[in-house]
Amino acid sequence: MGTSRTFRGVITAILTKDARTLGPVLLLTALLQAMAVVAGRADLWPVLTAWLPLLLIIVNSVAIFSVIQTDPPVSLTDDWLCRPVSRGALLIAKLLLLTLVIYLPRVLTTLAIDLLRQEPLGAALLDALLWQSSFEPLYLPIVLMAAVCTASMLQGVGVLLAVFVAVFVVPTPFISLPGPEDLTVGEAMQNNGLQWLSMFPGKLIFMIAAATCLWFAYARRSSYLARVTFAAGLVAGIAAIVAPMLLLPWQFGFGLQQALHADSDRNAQAAEPAVRHTRACFPAARLGEIAEGGESENARSLFALDRWGDEHLKAAGKDAVAFITQVRPRGLPDEWRLQVAYAWATYHAPDETPIARLRPAFHAAGSSNGFGGEKIETLTHAWLLPQAVLQRLDEGAEPTLDLAYSVAVLEPTSAQLSVNGKYRRLPGIGTCRAMRDALEDRITVECLAVGRLPSMIAAELNGVPASRVDSKNVDFAPWPLRLLQSRRVTLSIGSPDLVESEVVKVSAYRANAFKTVHVRSPGWLGDIRENCPASVTHSAAPRLSSWNDRSAHDSKSIAVASNVQLEVLDWGGTGTALVLLPGLGATAHSFDEIGPLLAQHFRVVGITRRGIGYSSRPDHGYSQARLAQDVIEVMDALGIGRAVFAGHSIAGEELSTLGARHAGRVAGLIYLDAAYDRSLPLPKRYRELSAALPDRPRPLPEELSSYTSLLGFFDRTGADPLPEGELIALWNVDKRYLAGQRSVDSRVIQAIEAGISSPDYRSITAPALAIYATSAGPDGMLKPWHDATDMTLRQKLRELQSMRDAVQRREIEKFRAELKGARVSELPGASHWVMLSHRDAVLQAIVDFVADLPVT
């Protein structure tokens, strides 16, 4: 008991002595720890927040040097026996004092702030106690060893500066870019979630070295061995971090990740992902052509040339080719994702001999709209084919291109979160809250995860996946390595008024599996060189300018709200006013073929809804009520009192809203394959079968060179030829580098869909006609690009057709039963674009319907 009191007394005496001697330094250190927490949580003083990490390193280092070197182990070697101080008590006192001034202020400040924010007590405690910084375990052991092994602060600072120069000034993967044929890990490890492969061993080595250094200095009283340990640990730790980037082949590093992640319970449910190209040919251009063309800035942005740097572009040569690849993940359950950790491309000769390897400048994930109008999740990469590589490709037969992606298959855990500023525990995610920032026009989502942390947290507007914002610093370390950490994520979602919803969707993603997927294509840019040239040459430019909207209409821009104007097409005519409303993601130009014919009977105008085509693209106003009000505003501007409305596809939602809420302005409603209840989700089996079908062919560059050429594409794919004006407005066909790429913002499409509700047919009193495109038979979904001899495929198509027919029959009967006096016209074999595939039949049906309307 007496010995214990003596031991504690010695510790207390040392603490008291150091506190009195070093009071100002220790107080400043503690205050800065607290300030860092406050500034980080409150997002105050942006300039100070940016510099706080460096300031903390300096202050923490000064504190460590001051505390350790007040009684340095080096000086204690000779007069140790003269001091009635236990070596253990001295070391414990020093480490305890450092804990009190570096760690404890953060704990207390974090706990206080979390409780003031009304976070749950348990989560607040864990957040305060667990490590929040992944960098401190890296540098604190190094500073501690430097303090123990040097005789003065000046010596210690000199050692640390030498370490900094060796790591960050001498060329290392921290500051160098990968070469185009470099397939080692490179600096990519720092951004793809696998940084733990080097950082964890490095941290572990530094901590072991620090413990060994302290043992030699205090227990063995050998400054020589302590310094040797410091030097050896420093070299080994830095090598453990840097060597994998310089020397480790990516396949080996990724294989190690796969092996360490093996978990029979989770991988039993792992998806089998695949990827497919979204385009027939990759958008491409030669560097010399980009520099000379009139769209230089747009092209540089499209091909991400600034990511390479001017020196790299100069070295690649004028004839180097920049190109973009975009692939679509397949074979994933609903809402699962692929996170690309690494990508590379290999050109092969016909005998499979590798000709050249490439690495991309960057990658991005997102969503877009395919040429058939379908929404797709995409993975996009920008590449550069150097002139020297092109020469090798030209020397032999047509090469093949193998794109390889090392991916993490991410399994989501999702929950809805009210935007009310209150914290809520979301199982499998963490403790989260969502707040609207009216000043910044954003929704801020804050999540605190503790314990078994997710690899990534994301938030999105309810019903708008394209608005998703992912957390930075993805981490795919095995969960035991993240068990003693907490992670606070702040996500900022823009354009919160895209949907009228007071909830957001929060998702936590965990790696279900790690896989490498490949997609091969003939030729060098998606297909053989004849089909996919390296660029759109200047000789083709006059043909691009031949695109022209030839429909006989006047185009107007009419204001419907502050800073919101809609494109209105006026085909003229006299008599009953007929207002045409396009389908989802389409413009009024989709009526360019039938519009002039209708104008022979009626006063015809078409309206392109907000967010689409040449209409304004605000970040609000996509509810059905607002879209219907936009139509009324256009009518007022044109002096139209009552009108017959004809709407295609999703415009049926606006027709039903107009009929129910603006009955006095509605003379009749015509649903062009539009009378459906789209609020009902598609059956899971239907989605699975649809996802398994062969992809729709994409137009080749030659087919996009003129409208006549593109008609050939529509003919070979059995699709209805969209009007030329529609293609110009939506598919950028008249632009050199963007031809065939959809111009619609996916967020707008999804926001419109998010506002859909079940149609209130019973509230509609106006006469109504619904024209349905019905099946031509059991093989009605068989397309020209399908293999008609594939009986498995045909069986899937027939099952899909049967499900679709059943849903359509239910909708037809619902329309007849709930809308008094409704008419139904069925067009067997028609496509969804009924006004294109069966134009004359639709024209006659509209004329007959309007002729039977009561005269008012």
> Which residue's entry shows tokens 């995409």?
378
Write down the pLDDT at residue 126.
Answer: 82
In the predicted model, what is the mean pLDDT of residues 330-359? 89
What percent of the chain has pLDDT above 70? 89
pLDDT digits (tens, 9 = 90+) for 84-110: 667 788 889 999 999 999 999 999 998
Distance CA 499, CA 509 (A): 24
Would the CA dihedral through 109, 504, 373, 742 be positive or negative?
negative
In the predicted model, what is the mean pLDDT of residues 666-679? 96
Of the two residues 360 and 85, the one the predictor is more confident about is: 360
Under DSSP, is residue 44 helix (H, G, I), strand (E, B) or coil? coil
Distance CA 691, CA 332 (A): 9
In the predicted model, what is the mean pLDDT of residues 463-477? 89
User: Cα 712 from chain centroid?
Assistant: 35
Kindly indicate the confidence band of residue 761, based on its pLDDT and cuts at 50, 70 and 90: very high
Cβ-in-10-Å burial (0-12, 13-18, 19+) of 385 comes to: buried
CATH number belonging to domain 555-681+744-776+805-851: 3.40.50.1820
Copy the structure tokens of residue 791: 């009986």
Under DSSP, is residue 530 helix (H, G, I), strand (E, B) or coil? coil
Kindly indicate the confidence band of residue 539, based on its pLDDT and cuts at 50, 70 and 90: very low
Write down the pLDDT at residue 712.
Answer: 92
Cβ-in-10-Å burial (0-12, 13-18, 19+) of 264 comes to: exposed
DSSP state letter for 568: E
Indicate if the pLDDT at residue 856 is higher than 90.
Answer: no
CB atoms within 10 A of CB 533: 16
User: Counting runs of H as helices and runs of E as strands, what totals does the chain give?
Assistant: 28, 23
DSSP H helices, 589-623, are 595-598
> Which residue's entry shows tokens 């609903």?
334
Of 156, 129, 162, 161, nearest to 144 (Cα)?
156
Of 296, 299, 297, 295, nearest to 283 (Cα)?
299
Write down the pLDDT at residue 81.
Answer: 42
In the predicted model, what is the mean pLDDT of residues 510-535? 87
pTM: 0.86
Copy the structure tokens of residue 730: 């939506």
Distance CA 780, CA 829 (A): 7
> Which residue's entry shows tokens 């999702």?
414
DSSP letter string over 164-182? Answer: HHHHHTS--TTT-PPPTT-
User: Cα 402 from chain centroid?
Assistant: 24
Phi, psi of 180 (to 5 degrees): -65, -20
Distance CA 195, CA 475 (A): 8
Kindly indicate the confidence band of residue 262, based on its pLDDT and cuts at 50, 70 and 90: low
Kindly indicate the confidence band of residue 368, based on its pLDDT and cuts at 50, 70 and 90: very low
Distance CA 648, CA 726 (A): 14
Give CA torsion, residues 477, 480, 485, 487, to 10 deg.
Answer: 50
> Which residue's entry shows tokens 């035991």?
480
Write down the pLDDT at residue 43.
Answer: 60
Q: Average pLDDT of the chain?
A: 86
Of 811, 804, 806, nearest to 770 (Cα)?
811
Checking DSSP bridges between strand 284-286 and strand 321-330, what pairing results, if any? antiparallel
Of the two residues 495 and 187, the one the predictor is more confident about is: 495
Distance CA 832, CA 722 (A): 12
Distance CA 450, CA 437 (A): 26
Write down the pLDDT at residue 541.
Answer: 43
Write down the pLDDT at residue 268.
Answer: 47
Copy the structure tokens of residue 374: 């379908």
Write down the pLDDT at residue 265.
Answer: 43
Is the domain spanning 264-409+517-536 CATH 1.25.10? The answer is: no
CB proximity list for 447: less than 8 A, separation 6 or greater: 426, 429, 430, 431, 432, 457, 488, 489, 491, 506
Copy the structure tokens of residue 438: 């009216």
In the predicted model, what is the mean pLDDT of residues 629-635? 98
In the predicted model, what is the mean pLDDT of residues 187-199? 74
Distance CA 346, CA 335 (A): 30
H or E segment at 508? strand 503-522
Give CA torsion, residues 627, 629, 634, 636, to 10 deg.
Answer: 170
Mark 741-765 as b/e (b = at least 16 C-beta within 10 Å): bbbbbbbbbbbbbbbbeebebeebe
Phi, psi of 221 (to 5 degrees): 55, 40
Phi, psi of 643 (to 5 degrees): -150, 160
Distance CA 266, CA 477 (A): 16
CB proximity list for 834: less than 8 A, separation 6 or greater: 648, 672, 673, 771, 773, 827, 842
DSSP letter string over 342-394? Answer: EEEEEEE-TT--EEEEE--SEEEEEEEE-TTS-EEEEEEEEEEE-HHHHHHHH
Of 354, 350, 342, nearest to 389 (Cα)?
354
Kindly indicate the confidence band of residue 175, based on its pLDDT and cuts at 50, 70 and 90: very low
Checking DSSP bridges between strand 643-648 and strand 666-672, what pairing results, if any? parallel
Distance CA 10, CA 148 (A): 20
Please, what is the end-to-end C-alpha distance for the chain in angstroms? 106
Indicate if the pLDDT at residue 544 is higher than 50.
Answer: no
Indicate if the pLDDT at residue 318 is higher than 50.
Answer: yes
Distance CA 298, CA 737 (A): 9
Distance CA 548, CA 637 (A): 28
Write down the pLDDT at residue 444.
Answer: 94
